[in-house]
């Protein structure tokens, strides 16, 4: 099934390239389309996280009050969530929708890297700097590019930092995880020479996620 979705995504990507005349712009539009398709599941996910954050003080009080009675604690927690219209599974279900799609995109780009051997975008093109620093600057979207990896790392870190934490303690742990995950993914992209095409897609997708997160947080403050 994943391979079938990957094949359809490649067809879409080629169609966008025919429309724009550039695989770089095609990937940017591709990321916008996927983000629009996943907009409401992602919104539901962050809304659920925010709702859980709001009732966290009450949950902590219940944990202290019924720490020796787990059965009553679970019952009271469920009652609290029901009264506040909080669904603890709402934050997980969107991930189940997104993960197969995101994996299919990874498969689509990684399976057909030859598409991007003569594709360029912004600073990624055959030039003098690429000749001087061939190990760090890509000359096509099929190559490995350090500035693109750094840009992705920044967008990934900001996206994780904007994700609502359920408590002050969780916020500290989340900050540490954001740093660890950013370093780990950036290292994987560099060590395994992931093509710029894939990193460009994820960078644009992460940037759009940051915009969406900011919009959700701003709407909840008003």
Per-residue pLDDT in tens (0 to 9) along the chain, 222 residues: 666 777 777 788 888 888 888 888 988 998 898 888 877 777 777 777 777 777 777 777 777 777 666 777 777 777 777 777 666 665 565 566 666 766 777 777 777 667 787 888 888 888 877 777 778 888 888 888 899 999 988 888 887 777 655 555 555 676 777 788 888 888 888 888 888 888 898 889 888 888 887 777 676 555
pLDDT of residue 221: 55
Closest CA to 122 of 190, 199, 53: 199
Q: In which residue are the tokens 């000359």 written?
A: 139
The set of residues, in sequence order, having a beta carbon less than 8 Å from that of 45 and lying 6+ positions away, is 90, 91, 94, 95
Q: Which two tokens stand for residue 221?
A: 């403050």
pLDDT at residue 79, as a whole number = 73
What confidence score (pLDDT) does residue 167 get?
53
Instruction: Tell me the CA distances in angstroms from 196 to 24, 64, 126, 167, 200, one per residue in order.
Output: 9, 50, 14, 37, 6
Helix (H), strand (E), coil (C) string for 108-133 = HHHHCHHHHCCCCECCECCCHHHHHC
What the block records as the tokens of 164 is 């609502």
Continuous segment of H or E residues that includes residue 196: helix 196-221
Predicted TM-score (pTM) of this structure: 0.76
The closest alpha carbon to 156, from 178, 171, 172, belongs to: 178
Let me know: does 35 contact 205? Beta carbons within 8 Å: yes
- What's the confidence (pLDDT) of residue 186? 86
Contact status, residue 150 vs residue 136, Cβ threshold 8 Å: no
Please report the beta strands in the chain, taking only residues with DSSP state E, as ranges in sequence order: none
């Amino acid at each position: 099934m994943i391979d079938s979705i990957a094949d359809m995504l490649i067809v879409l990507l080629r169609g966008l390239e025919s429309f724009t005349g550039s695989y770089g712009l095609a990937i940017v539009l591709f990321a916008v389309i996927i983000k629009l398709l996943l907009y409401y599941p992602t919104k539901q996910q962050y809304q659920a996280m925010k709702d859980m954050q709001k009732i966290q003080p009450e949950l902590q009080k219940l944990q202290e009050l019924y720490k020796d009675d787990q059965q009553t604690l679970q019952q009271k927690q469920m009652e609290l969530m029901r009264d506040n219209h909080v669904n603890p599974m709402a934050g997980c279900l969107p991930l189940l929708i997104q993960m197969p799609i995101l994996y299919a995109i990874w498969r689509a780009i990684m399976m057909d890297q030859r598409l991007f051997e003569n594709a360029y975008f912004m600073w990624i093109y055959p030039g003098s700097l690429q000749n001087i620093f061939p190990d760090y600057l890509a000359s096509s979207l099929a190559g490995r590019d350090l500035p693109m990896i750094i840009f992705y790392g920044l967008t990934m870190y900001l996206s994780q930092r904007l994700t609502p934490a359920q408590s002050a303690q969780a916020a500290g742990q989340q900050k540490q995880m954001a740093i660890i995950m950013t370093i780990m993914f950036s290292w994987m992209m560099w060590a395994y020479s992931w093509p710029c095409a894939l990193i460009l897609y994820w960078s644009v997708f992460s940037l759009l996620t940051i915009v969406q997160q900011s919009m959700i947080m701003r709407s909840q403050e008003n």
